[in-house]
Structure 1
């Protein structure tokens, strides 16, 4: 049990680095990247500092052609890939994990990779690489940015091998430990970076990062903001336009074509306010047989030519609440139970037999 919680502590330590809004440690960053350049037989680069990943769009040269010798970015990518292959081979020597009590396995001294992957790597991959870095990349748009490294957002794999060293006493080769330390230093020191020949482009860390559990979320402003003013807005892990957060009006909502953006805006405004301000008329209401204790409400949607089924989620959210959500259904439905059944591909009679829907 103690080993389990020590692993969690290491994971949270790395999560704090990933979400840090402190200014980049430029001397440490430049010295570390210079060392990586040296490991692939490249001279020290000229450093170009950027105030956000988006700023790279206008200044970043394309990746070099694949030729001999390979461009420096490809050599650095291979350097890290080879390191991870060696580390993976080393930690994979633990005995197979076959027990109904993973905590006992941890305490016994041989917690298998199958335990640590979801506990450390998987958790940080969801909260940092996918939620934070993923939404930042999506906000930049479809621009091809080529080979890049994520600095502080590269913590998922680093934390995993750190746990193996600090909690499980796994021994890596001295050369691998030295290189692992270089990548770890970058995760503690800077944002995203690109190696391009004799130049290296490095971004500052953000000024603001707001999370709800393991998702980017800020109901009062940008979820991520960088020193140059570039921002990313997010509602419970979904990237949204700024108006969804600052001014979720009925007119903006009804003209929005993206169903997920529309859902987030309505949740921010609140379903009661949306129904009132949009002047939706209630067609019918019924108890939800798939979610006992909650009701289904069916409304006319004059702006879309369909009807809106308002329901309560059958499962509990991360914060312990149940999300209220709306589904567009054909205008032919007048019974909320039939409408709910249609969303599952069932008849009303079949849906009424459900014990609990999700």
Structure 2
């Protein structure tokens, strides 16, 4: 009888031991997975580069970014693959991912495009971006409906995609000019925009209108109120979408990814700049959630992030929240990063134009620990 009892307790102890080991193993695995998920939260930095600085100066800056928690740089080389090819190895040696940032439909000072006035978008009031630009002088928008303008844009995409070591081609200004400016910027231009104004409603170029007429058998230039014509609006959304989709095919042919800087969330982007980015073929979006531009409060970063994440549900697309750091205090920056994390972002991207302070860098670095 005692032998039976001893045997029973041995079996019981063995089962408890096994269960405990399995539980510990599960907890370790779960902790490891959680840690890995947290470590994947990426920190990006938009930066413009040029040929004037030395390699050593860029190396110092890249090392500074990396040592302060930055994982990836979005480098604007003016779509110059030679400059990108020069700087990519330096950034990668510092431990940074490199993403080739380019202006897409807005091509200010593009020497090739400027030889072709018919490539440019035209407003409803008949003003061409070739010589009469909306808002600011660097708004020189090419029409995605002009086949040669489109071919030119995509050739620039491919040139950047061919550079060894680049992780993605990053499309900026992949849209139409602002139909509506962010409300916080209107006083700067002494504007009221309570409807679609003719000077800011694009693209009434011949290439665009002729393409639309072939599809829908009506001329937007003859519409009494083109703002309420859904086909006309949808046509322009689809012109941008098809351009992005073509870029996606090109960069993936070169084993690169496609990313884009976009307006805060799809419905808002649709309304303001004819940009419906939740319908694009794309790998990563970096919505520029610059809350102060819209006279919103800090927690709007969380709202806009969550809205974008929801609109991307079921798609293999990462969303990384873009933050405008010149207007963020260190405490505000800390809160902004947490709001992005809490609302489903895969990372945060800082637009600082080399103005991040030591205190802001400290916040960024500490938020990763």
Same fold (TM over 0.5): no
TM-score of the aligned structures, taking structure 2 as reference length: 0.21
